[in-house]
Amino acid sequence: MSEHAVLSPSSFHRLMACAGSFALELVVPRLGTTTHSAYGTSAHNVAASALVTGLDAMHFINTEQKVEGFSFVVDKEMAAFIQNYLDEIRSEVGEDGDLHVECRVDFSKTLGVTQSAFGTADAIIRKPNRLSISDLKFGKGVLVHAKDNPQLALYSIGALEKFGRDGIEEIAMTIYQPRRNHISQWVVHISELDAFAIEAKVAVEKALLPDAPLTSGKHCQFCNAKPTCPAVNSQSGNGFAVLSNPFKKEL
Instruction: Report the amino acid identity of residue 87.
Output: D
Q: Which of 200, 149, 139 is nearest to 174 (CA)?
A: 149
For the purposes of burial, counting CB atoms within 10 Å of the CB of 21, is it exposed (0-12), middle (13-18) or buried (19 or more)? buried
Which string of DSSP letters, residue by residue, matches 101-159? EEEEEE-HHHHTBSS-BEEEEEEEEE-SSEEEEEEE----SS----TT-HHHHHHHHHH
Q: How far is CA 201 from CA 108, 149, 152, 204, 210, in A?
A: 10, 15, 15, 5, 17
65 is a site residue for ligand SF4 (CB under 6 A) = no
16 is a site residue for ligand SF4 (CB under 6 A) = no
* Binding window for ligand SF4 (CB under 6 A); candidates: 15-23, 105-113, 151-159, 196-204: 15-23
Site string for ligand SF4, 133-152 (x = CB under 6 A): --------------------
24 is a site residue for ligand SF4 (CB under 6 A) = yes
209 is a site residue for ligand SF4 (CB under 6 A) = no
Which residue lies nearer to ligand SF4 by CB, 90 or 226? Answer: 226
Enumerate residues 216-235 that contact ligand SF4 by CB under 6 A: 216, 219-220, 223, 225-226, 229, 231-232
Q: Pick from 7, 16, 18, 82: which binds ligand SF4 (CB under 6 A)?
A: 18
**DSSP state, residue 68:** T
Q: Pick from 9, 20, 97, 158: which binds ligand SF4 (CB under 6 A)?
A: 20
* Binding window for ligand SF4 (CB under 6 A); candidates: 14-22, 43-51, 105-113, 203-211: 14-22
